[in-house]
Chains A and B, each alone.
Chain A
């Protein structure tokens, strides 16, 4: 990990909610409020967090906004029960309390029962940088990856949050929607397939896959390189076929993946996608080396993990041998 730079933001301006994806979080709340009106299957299950955003629709739709208190095992268990009766639960909390604390409930009370829910997490990775390790869950996608059949969406813009929710609400499958306070300047239309946002030449150095909020900084970091940049807002199921095709059109089968969570989380997907050819790959993400015991801003944490434009640019030059 690199040494963190000095904070540019005065500590009194750090608000835990602002640092937890206020904009994506607002898009989530507005979309789900609308869904409560439009779809009688929708139920919202909360453990206090964001309760204020659903008080009004909860009064209009008795029994469909359920706050179980600060009880995250019950949060997921209740969601499983709602799904067993045919409802479409939307379950929401901070990522560590939604995915890690009740992980066995995700495995048994949802997956093993053969029912789904839409988990909407805030505070992805180091969004709550100033709050410390207790409010961070960079391993969220990695632990969910051990369960079959989950869709994992990592939107890069509030508009993508809305589109993804509208797609998933009518369905039944288990879904994790990872919201972040970090976002790109513009949305990319959501797709389960990789979207090529910059195409390299036939003699390009390789392919860069940017996940969710990593897109803008990845484009900036690779602006001077002849590489193809593809974007993913859905990482599970991973578009293996698409990656294989994009790599086939590139000059080299070298793949750099930039993920906003635990480094190398999708390495096995890249391996499987390119099993038919010799290839190289490198994953950038939140460091696995040690727990980063630092507060400060998300920008400082991004820098510490080499996930700012400068860090990505350096890693890309080294990896693509330019």
Chain B
């Protein structure tokens, strides 16, 4: 029986091995992989996008704003067939499409180039408004959604707060912000990071990242008229 490498490395349990192709087998840094569970849940259960629809106007869009430590992202993209598994070994080399910060022009399926903090949320808002302005719908009549992942440390950049304030006022309920809270903001956000979204009229939900079912529900329960923020605490806090 013939099996492709993609079929072999396509499960959640394979992700550590895929990350190992990039980073070696040493203990992986928390910062790089605090995003792993939520990105997996998104691509495995939430986003309606696949390698053959990576350029389709009616795809769901995932924007990794927190672009440093993209190994978890690349691993999920490889597990889902957007990337060839052997490509992971080239990570960071001169002619690799996979840098220490992602570049959308080099990898099909990567929606934005990121690394400099604070660009993803405004770009995601613009994408959500662009989908809406063009009246893009899937065959089943549903509207594609735009999901952006930001870090709690990243939210210190003021550009995020311009987008947070503008999004609810513009009624962008096809926009979701996933805030990975690994408590890297110093000092921490008074009242929690979710309060920053709540006061601006977002629907805010909080879950622990390892609880895939709960995160799935938080990402998919309806939130009509309001953009959605899902605050995900990382394993070390779970």
Return chain B residues, CB-CB under 8 Å to A73.
118, 122, 158-159, 162
Contact (Cβ within 8 A) B125 A77: yes
Is the CB of B57 closer than 8 A to any CB of chain A?
Answer: yes
Chain B proximity mask over A37-73: 1 for CB below 8 Å, otherwise 0:
0001001000000000000000000111010110101
**Once the chains bind, are B130 and A113 in contact (CB under 8 Å)?**
no
Chain B binder among A9-17, A79-87, A177-185, A229-237: A79-87
CA A71 – CA B158 in complex, angstroms? 10
Please tell me which one of the listed residues A78, A83, A113 contacts residue B166 in the complex, with CB atoms under 8 A apart. A78
Return A115 CB to nearest CB of chain B, in Å. Answer: 9
CA distance A78 to B127 in the complex (A): 7
Contacts known (A78-B166, A105-B159); A85 close to B57, Cβ less than 8 A: yes
Rounded to whole angstroms, the CA-CA distance of A135 and B123 in the bound complex is: 27
Q: Does A109 contact B (CB under 8 A)?
A: yes
Task: Tell me whether B129 is interfacial, beta carbon within 8 Å.
Answer: yes
A105 proximity list for chain B (CB < 8 A): 119, 122, 159
Given contacts A43-B133, A63-B132, A69-B169, contact A77 B126 (CB under 8 A): yes
Chain B residues with CB under 8 A of A85: 57, 126-127, 130-131, 134, 136
> What are the residues of chain A within 8 A of B61 when measuring CB–CB?
84
B116 within 8 Å of A (CB atoms): yes
Decide if B129 touches A66 in the complex (CB within 8 Å). yes
| Residue B124, interface by CB 8 Å | yes
Query: Which residue from A43, A81, A114 sits with its C-beta under 8 Å from B124?
Result: A81
Q: Is A104 an interface residue (CB 8 A)?
A: yes
Note all chain A residues with C-beta closer than 8 A to B127.
81-82, 84-85
Partner of A82, one of B103, B111, B129: B129
Tell me which residues across on chain A come within 8 A of B119, comparing CB atoms: 77, 80, 105, 108-109
A81 to B162 alpha-carbon distance, docked (Å): 14
- How many Å lie between the Cα of A89 and that of B134 in the bound state? 13
Once the chains bind, are B123 and A113 in contact (CB under 8 Å)?
Answer: yes
For B111, list chain A residues within 8 Å (CB).
84
B112: interface (CB < 8 Å): yes
A202 to chain B, nearest CB (A): 49
Does the CB pair A113–B163 fall under 8 Å?
A: no
Q: Point out the residues of chain A lying under 8 angstroms from B169, CB to CB.
A: 69
Q: What 0/1 readout, one digit per residue, does chain A (232-254) give for beta carbons within 8 Å of chain B? A: 00000000000000000000000
Report whether A80 and B122 are in contact in the complex, using a CB–CB cutoff of 8 Å.
Answer: yes
A63→B104 contact, CB < 8 A: no
CB atoms of A71 and B166 under 8 A apart: yes
Pick from A62, A71, A84: contact of B130, CB under 8 Å: A84
Which of chain A's residues have a CB closer than 8 A to the CB of B158?
73
The answer on a CB contact under 8 Å between A81 and B130 is yes
**A84 and B126 alpha carbons, distance in the complex (Å):** 8
- Once the chains bind, are A74 and B134 in contact (CB under 8 Å)? no
Given contacts A73-B122, A78-B125, A104-B116, contact A87 B130 (CB under 8 A): yes
- Chain B residue numbers with a CB within 8 Å of A80 are 119, 122-123, 126
Query: Which of B112, B125, B128, B130 makes the CB contact (< 8 A) with A74?
Result: B125
How far is the CB of B113 from the nearest CB of chain A, in Å? 5
Residue among B116, B121, B122 facing the most chain A CB atoms (10 A cut-off): B122
Query: B5 at interface (Cβ–Cβ under 8 A)?
Result: no
Q: Which of B121, B134, B146, B162 contacts A68 (CB 8 A)?
A: B162
Residue numbers in A under 8 Å from B96 (CB-CB): none
A112, CB-defined interface residue at 8 Å: yes
Within 8 A of A (CB), among B57-98: 57, 61
A69 and B166 in contact, given A81-B128, A82-B127 (Cβ under 8 angstroms)? yes
Q: How far is the CA of A62 from the CA of B133 in the complex (A)?
A: 7
List the B side residues contacting A112 at CB < 8 Å.
103, 113
Closest Cβ of chain B to A268, distance in Å, is 27
Query: How near does chain B come to A60, taking the closest CB pair, in angstroms?
Result: 13
Does B32 interact with chain A (Cβ within 8 Å)? no
Q: Which residue of B103, B125, B133, B165 contacts A69 across the interface (Cβ within 8 Å)?
A: B165
> Could you list 19 further interchain pairs (A-B, Cβ under 8 angstroms) beyond the known A78-B166, A80-B126?
A63-B129, A64-B133, A68-B162, A69-B165, A69-B166, A73-B122, A73-B162, A74-B166, A78-B125, A80-B122, A82-B127, A82-B130, A82-B133, A85-B57, A108-B113, A108-B116, A113-B105, A113-B112, A113-B123
| Among all A-B residue pairs, the 8 with the closest Cβ atoms | A81-B126, A77-B122, A85-B130, A63-B133, A78-B126, A71-B162, A74-B162, A81-B127
